[in-house]
Amino acid sequence: MNLLTVLVLNLIFILITTFVFQYIIINKFKALYQRLDKLLIVLLAGSQIVFCMTFTLINNPDFIFDLRLIPVVVGGLYGGPIVSILLFVIVALARFPFGGDGVWVNFFNMLTITVFTSYISLKFRSFPLAKKLYTVVAVAISYTLLIFLMKAAVFKDPNDIQFMVIYGVTLTVGIFIIVYYIEIMKQNLVLHNAVIKSDKIEVVSQLAASVSHEVRNPLTVTRGFLQMLKDPSIEEEKRLYYLNTAIDELDRAETIIKDYLSFAKPQSGIASSICVKEEIEKAMELIIPYANHFSVSIKRDLMEGMFVSGEASKFHQCILNIIKNGIEAMPNGGDLEIGCRTEGKQATISIKDTGCGMTPQQLSRLGEPYFSTKAEKGTGLGMMVVYKIIDEMNGRIQVKSKLEQGTIFKIDLPLYDTEKREI
């Protein structure tokens, strides 16, 4: 292989692996990265070093040329001193099999670079973009000069100027592209988070406007009925009807406000351990009269001693909302089964009904604010609240539903870890 082929191959490998690394982490394993960032950076940069030194140019028995400097510097600067030192060990060991004086040149140069990156890495993340870029460019140029000077001065090996320029330029441009690219990806992530946040703020303010509208309706109706009750000549039967309707409407207003508040209210952040069985049983106590009213029988199969992390009142409401929907889906009676058990490190809660079920279109709209098929009786806020609470608890909901056959909700939540306090 000639020099240019080696350098291009190295650069493409570093670019692709860095891209895949960032892309996967941003999209899938953010939590894992937050915990194991140093280890993951060592794995990424370490594999890049090994690749570069596998596809290297053996210039003469003493010297090999490739872009191993890029992962050593970039990994060290983003990973910190410990990562720098580990990468130094990898790059120094990987040079041994090739032998020659280059082993010591590499050892000395990489040691100098490691001392520098370890020191700079303490502040590197807070540098503005331009400063980051010229730091790495300066490292690449100094490194190029250093190796060619050593080659000429210490080992009396005459340098080919063209070779040196191609190597130096590729290394410098390469490191510039990688750091610039990492920074752009990081900015994207910050923007992405800001958009998600502003989306939520928008939903909350839209909801605030429409909630006040929604609440006004039942209040107006209640007011109307109370007004009519003022009439002393009103028949007893009618009076009772007016009173019941007024109470129903007030209940409805209360439900809307409760649902809205639990959506808009920020997380208190105080997560404690919740006993799943206990919370489900509390929710059942409240709901049993409602179930009896619709001739729904409830079966339960609840495992003891299962704990998840979160806010008990929110979790309780979430279970209540799902059970309530299940009962409402069976106006002519049916069975509702509630179970909870552990699956590996997960708590799995399942709530199954034999009710009216949903069409695929309805299923896909589940959780949208105001999506309800219950006309006057529904608020369309219950499931939105459920999704938000489970999301806050780092859980997942799966729903399967068949029209006229029933629906199953399966909620997976990470188990509360008594040693780590939270997962």
- The footprint of ligand ADP (CB under 6 A) covers 321, 325-326, 329, 353, 355-358, 362, 366, 371-374, 378-384, 407
| Nearest Cα residue to 114 out of 79, 154, 72, 153 | 72
Q: Provide the residue count of the chain.
A: 423
Q: Which stretch binds Mg ion (CB under 5 A): 119-127, 292-300, 374-382, 407-415?
A: 374-382
The listed partner (ligand ADP, Mg ion, none) that binds 320, CB under 5 to 8 Å by sort, is none
Q: Which of 149, 78, 84 is nearest to 110 (CA)?
A: 84
Least gap, CB of 269 to ligand ADP (angstroms): 26
Q: Is 414 in the site for Mg ion (CB under 5 A)?
A: no
Return the number of the residue (133 or 257) whose C-beta is nearest ligand ADP.
257
Least distance in angstroms from the C-beta of 290 to ligand ADP? 13
Contact window for Mg ion (CB under 5 A) among 129-137, 318-326, 360-368, 406-414: 318-326
Q: Shortest distance, CB of residue 363 to ligand ADP, whole angstroms?
A: 8
Choose the contact partner of 71 out of Mg ion, ligand ADP, none; CB within 5 to 8 A by kind: none
Q: Quote the CA–CA distance of 71 and 103 in Å, as a whole number.
A: 18
3-state secondary structure of 331: coil
Q: Which of 18, 109, 144, 325 binds Mg ion (CB under 5 A)?
A: 325
375-404 residues near Mg ion, rule: CB under 5 A: 382
Which of helix, strand or coil describes residue 345? Answer: coil
- Residue 118 lies near Mg ion (rule: CB under 5 A): no
Residue 289 Cβ, how far from Mg ion at the closest point, in Å? 17
Please, what is the minimum distance in Å from the beta carbon of residue 321 to Mg ion? Answer: 6
Q: Which residues, in sequence order, are bridge partners of residue 414?
A: 346
Answer yes or no: are the C-beta atoms of 9 and 50 closer than 8 Å.
no
Report d(CA 288, CA 327) in Å as an integer. Answer: 10
Cα distance between residue 291 and residue 105, in whole Å: 80
Query: CB of 120: closest distance to ligand ADP in angstroms?
Result: 53
394 binds, among Mg ion, ligand ADP, none (CB under 5 to 8 A by kind): none
Burial environment of residue 420 by CB neighbours within 10 A (0 to 12, 13 to 18, 19 or more) = exposed
Nearest to 335 by CA among 302, 296, 293: 296
Backbone phi and psi for residue 337, each to the nearest 5 degrees, phi listed first: -115, 130
Closer to Mg ion by CB, 9 or 318: give it: 318
Cβ proximity to ligand ADP: between 174 and 326 the closer is 326
What does 390 bind: Mg ion, ligand ADP, none (CB cut-off 5 to 8 Å by kind)?
none
Phi and psi torsions of 336, nearest 5°: -125, 125
Rounded to the nearest 5°, which phi and psi values hold at 101? -65, -25
Minimum CB distance to ligand ADP, residue 324 (Å): 7
Among 52-60, 62-70, 262-270, 320-328, which window interacts with Mg ion (CB under 5 A)?
320-328
Sheet strands side by side (includes 334-343): 296-302, 334-343, 346-353, 406-414, 396-402
> Which of ligand ADP, Mg ion, none has residue 362 at its interface (CB below 5 to 8 Å by kind)?
ligand ADP
Strand partners, 301: 339
Under the rule (CB under 5 A), what is the footprint of Mg ion? 325, 382
